[in-house]
Structure 1
Amino acid sequence: MYYNGYQLPFIPDRFGGGQQPGFQPPPFGGGQQPGFQPPPFGGGQQPGFQPPPFGGGQQGFPPFGGGAQEGGPPSSPPPSYTPQESPSLYAVDPGAIRGCLYRFTYVWLNNGSSFWFYPTYVGRDSIAGYRWRGFRWVYYGTDLRRIRSFRCS
């Protein structure tokens, strides 16, 4: 009996034993059909297929490296005042906060903390950019569901 181009070992019945005469086991690694060519490294994409650039920010995640290569933090500190919070009756959605990209934005989180933020990326479920830490900008990202309200200047 043959399988995949190789003769299968003789399977003895319960009364006999041994292997068929002339049996040669396949080479180590299972063996392959003559002329078999494995797909090219990377999975063998379809002709004309272009994979997305590495770290392109797909699937709601910020670009690889945090997006700092997209201009970096602002060169000046945020405004010295704290804006008045206007309570939001709705969840913060990406379309609303997208208008604050690359602008000083004051953010109030559900846990009670608030801070100046400079968003550089808005995804379907998350936001990323730079958070003011009193004396410098620090890269920061969070889930949009954690934001209670925001106001951009």
Structure 2
Amino acid sequence: MYIDNYFRDMEEEDICIYDPNEIYELEVEDLPPQCPYRQMVSIMRFPQGSQQPPSPPPNFTPQQPQAQQFGTTSFAVDQGAIQPCLFRFVYIWPRRGRGFWAWLVFVGRRSVSGFRWNMGSWRYFGMDLRQISSFQCF
């Protein structure tokens, strides 16, 4: 009932939609002011300054690891495998799109979030673990 009342008076383009199968740059300015997700991102934008990356990422692009187990690939990256990458530089190769440097501040059962290096600055992002093809911590 709350959702129906909340969205009843909103225009279609103002509704905040989240698709867990996509990679999102969490740009608060692009979300409508009444979107609860915008408010959550605003609070989490730069949580406790100590979690921000200490510097730009390394200035090289690592080689993507090759699939090992007889050419098969897993459906999703395991939470336990990427957990040691918290608060370290990590290069992520998504299933779709180009790889990128990241600084992870959260690893959950199904997703990761942190800062992504994009055009010379760090941007907060979130990503579903199913969308990560491979990664490498540094």
The two structures share one fold, judged by TM-score above 0.5: yes
Structure 2 Cα separation of the partners of residues 115 and 73 of structure 1: 17
What fraction of aligned residue pairs are identical, expressed as a percent?
43
Answering whether residue 51 of structure 2 is matched by residue 72 of structure 1, we say yes
When normalised by structure 1's length, the TM-score is 0.55
Task: From 60, 72, 85, give the equivalent of 1:81.
Answer: 60
What one-letter code is carried by the residue in structure 1 that aligns with 2:82?
A: I
- For structure 2, the residue ranges without an aligned partner over 5 or more in a row are 1-39, 68-72
Task: From 117, 137, 151, give the equivalent of 2:122.
Answer: 137
Cα RMSD over matched residues? 2.1
Would you say the 8 A contact 2:107–2:113 is kept in 1?
yes
Greater CA radius of gyration, 1 or 2?
A: 1
What one-letter code is carried by the residue in structure 2 that aligns with 1:147?
A: I
Structure 1 Cα separation of the partners of residues 54 and 47 of structure 2: 14
- For structure 1, the residue ranges without an aligned partner over 5 or more in a row are 1-61
Aligned residues: 92
Runs in 1 of length 4+ with deviation above 4 angstroms?
Answer: none
Higher helix proportion:
2
How far residue 63 of structure 1 moved from its aligned partner, in angstroms, is: 8.9
Structure 2 Cα separation of the partners of residues 124 and 64 of structure 1: 23
Answering whether residue 99 of structure 2 is matched by residue 120 of structure 1, we say no
- Give the secondary-structure state (helix, strand or coil) at the position aligned to 1:76: coil
Question: 1:146–1:134: structure 2 CA closer, same or farther, 3 Å change rule?
Answer: same
How far residue 64 of structure 1 moved from its aligned partner, in angstroms, is: 8.1
Would you say the 8 A contact 1:87–1:149 is kept in 2?
no
Answering whether residue 133 of structure 2 is matched by residue 148 of structure 1, we say yes
The residue number in structure 1 matching 2:87 is: 102
Relative contact order, CA 8 A, sep 6+: which one is greater?
Answer: 2
Structure 2 Cα separation of the partners of residues 99 and 119 of structure 1: 10
Structure 2 Cα separation of the partners of residues 121 and 107 of structure 1: 15
